Structure 1
């Protein structure tokens, strides 16, 4: 096994993987400086990691294998980690005060939160999620008031685009509950859909407080487009399986970290 910069190849590759998992992506030039090795050595390491299926090579570096521009359908995500989603949803719903305006983003975790808001008195729910809107509408006069943003639907059943963004910009929410396709230290909250990212930015700008809800499997995943930095969040709710290094990052970056 060859060495370069004082490290064994396996040690270098483990360090590279740690950086990819932490940041979602790495650049060849940055790795040359950090590892003290040649450009060719870094590229050989990335080639080896890509062949092993650990990273995906891109121009000038590599990204986490889970990073993609593929947008899962809402139905495909509903069966993922239902017990964890339920625990996260209970914690998020506990942050909601009666008589307030709550914005709820698209996504299955946000949907799970919405299901627990139906009996909170005096709520107004603003959403760009078709499933959330249907959930609230089905409760009728016994549930929250509903404001649906309008817009064009995505595969994840989110309403996005100029109509949605314009409607959201005219509103003011006390609280936003938002999910994410992926979360990382550098990329923040991400989604595979560019239009959804823009609509999520509008939701964040419209809200007095923002709570992100995402289970530990989202950490290190990087979607195509960022829509919020970790420092934009007033609270991040996740589960106890979140790695220690991720806990440290979120504790430092967010106003509050809740583990359930």
Structure 2
């Protein structure tokens, strides 16, 4: 395959799925890691894609722009891993925990499969699959049902009705964006309604959001900053974001993504 043909193939895949990983392209196209990275560089220089750590995603930043699960999974991977590791420390054995759909909460799910006697409520097909594959007999998984979105969230009246019948100890909420005025937001109106039902069902709200989420505004607000008991982010968070979250949220916990180690900072 010529370079131009290969780059067109990569571009079509990104447009179809929202994002790609370098490792997957190396395997599928049968070329070297360096060749794929050069191809991505060419496409990025032409403004056709956005390079991210470990891959590339489609361009676009509108308030209704909703990247697919594959696109989001290659963004800020080290930050998400560090945030997930810290968030897992808030989950006690025997508790009922809800996980909203998202790649950060999906990362968290991998850290929760070994927590005994959990009841997990989620509207995410991907998260439910993590626990299903773990096959823990002492864990109960409740998948809400509903209409599937590009980010593999189950939303709509069926999901909302299921969630409203439940009471959970802790909600781990992943968000598309956050800001002082808009609060925690999503680009999907139906997903916002489902997430609001999760917030109302939870005794404690913990928001998982890496530093790139600050200043990103989706069309619909899930909750104001003050609704969060804890916000877990990383040390790349801008200073103004730290000030706003420290003032309005219950606690701001920062993690060091480079070290994959919690700094223990509560602001």
Shorter-chain TM-score range: 0.7 to 0.9
Offset at residue 142 of structure 1 (A) = 4.6
2:111 aligned to which of 93, 111, 116: 116
> What is the CA distance between 1:141 and its match in structure 2?
2.9
How far apart, in 1, do the equivalents of 2:129 and 2:100 lie?
14
Match of 2:200 among 200, 205, 218: 205
Give the TM-score, by structure 2 length: 0.72
Taking a change above 3 Å as real, the CA distance of residues 224 and 189 of structure 1, as seen in their structure-2 partners, is: same
CA contact (8 A) 1:212 1:233 kept: yes
Instruction: Give the CA deviation at 1:67.
Output: 4.2
**Which of 211, 221, 229 does residue 226 from structure 1 map onto?**
221
Alignment match, 1:35: none
The equivalent of 1:167 in structure 2 is: 162
Residue aligned with 1:90, SS: helix
Q: Residue 14 of structure 2 corresponds to which residue in structure 1?
A: none
RMSD value, Cα: 1.1
Report the equivalent of 2:88.
93
Give the drift of 1:115: 1.0
Contact persistence 1:131–1:157 (CA under 8 A): yes
Gaps of 5+ in 1: 1-64
Write out the 4+ residue segments of structure 1 that deviate beyond 4 Å after TM superposition: none
Counterpart position of 2:136: 141
1:67 and 1:221 in contact (8 A); partners too: no
Partner in structure 1 of residue 73 of structure 2: 78
| 1: CA distance, partners of 2:231 / 2:119 | 22
Counterpart of 1:158?
A: 153
TM-score (norm 1): 0.74
Q: Structure 2: which 5+ runs fail to align?
A: 1-59, 256-267
CA distance in 2, matches of 1:258, 1:93: 13
